[in-house]
Amino acid sequence: MANVCDTISQDITSNCNMPTSGMEATAYIFSRTDISPTYDAAVKTKVTDLTIETGQTGYKIYGHKQNMNAGHDAVIDPTMPTRFTHYFSFHGYEFDSEAVQSIDSLEDLVVVVERKEKPDDADGIFIIYGLESGLATSSDTLRMNDANSVRQVELQTEEGSSEKHSQYNLVIDDVTSVYAATKALLEGLMTV
């Protein structure tokens, strides 16, 4: 029987060219059911297009310095292929009624973050979390006399669900600038 799981496909190099840590202070957030990805035929972690349902829109989360975070955890099980849970966190400074309603409603979401490191080919700059299973609120804390009365929210892959890959990279091919084309696509998804 042939192995149907993914296999290693290239050398893995560790050298002194470590990436710059961190992500930009703006993230893009979508309802998972409103978007449709197009995956690269050869590289399953590469998304070559992202569309949104007519009449729907994405939104931005504006952070400050390092108050947003994103990443993954591997789910290791000796009886199953390795899967991943995705993670995104941010601080909410707004407390007006509409902001409270929006943050209270965070479930089944996809978040796209932008690395500070900008490789020339732009592959790996825009990272998608929650693409297959969605992200939902896993922690939401506000203490009026702690942390300057800032709401601290964490989103994760829901328990019992998982993602096939640690991250998905959004890469829009363009002869002039892959970075600019990918950024323009995301910005275009922010309006109805």
Residue 108: closest CA among 91, 132, 85? 132
Q: What is the pLDDT of residue 19?
A: 66
Q: What residue type is assigned to position 30 of the chain? A: F
Residues of the chain with pLDDT > 70, as a percent, come to 90
Residue 66, both tokens: 């390092």
Q: pTM, whole model, 2 decimals?
A: 0.89
Structure tokens at 161: 């669900």
- CA distance linking residue 47 with residue 184, whole number of Å: 15
Distance CA 151, CA 106 (A): 14
What are the angstrom distances between the C-alpha of 144 and each of 52, 64, 149, 152? 37, 20, 4, 12
pLDDT at 1: 41
- Show the low-confidence residues of the chain (pLDDT under 50): 1-3
Q: What is the pLDDT of residue 192?
A: 77
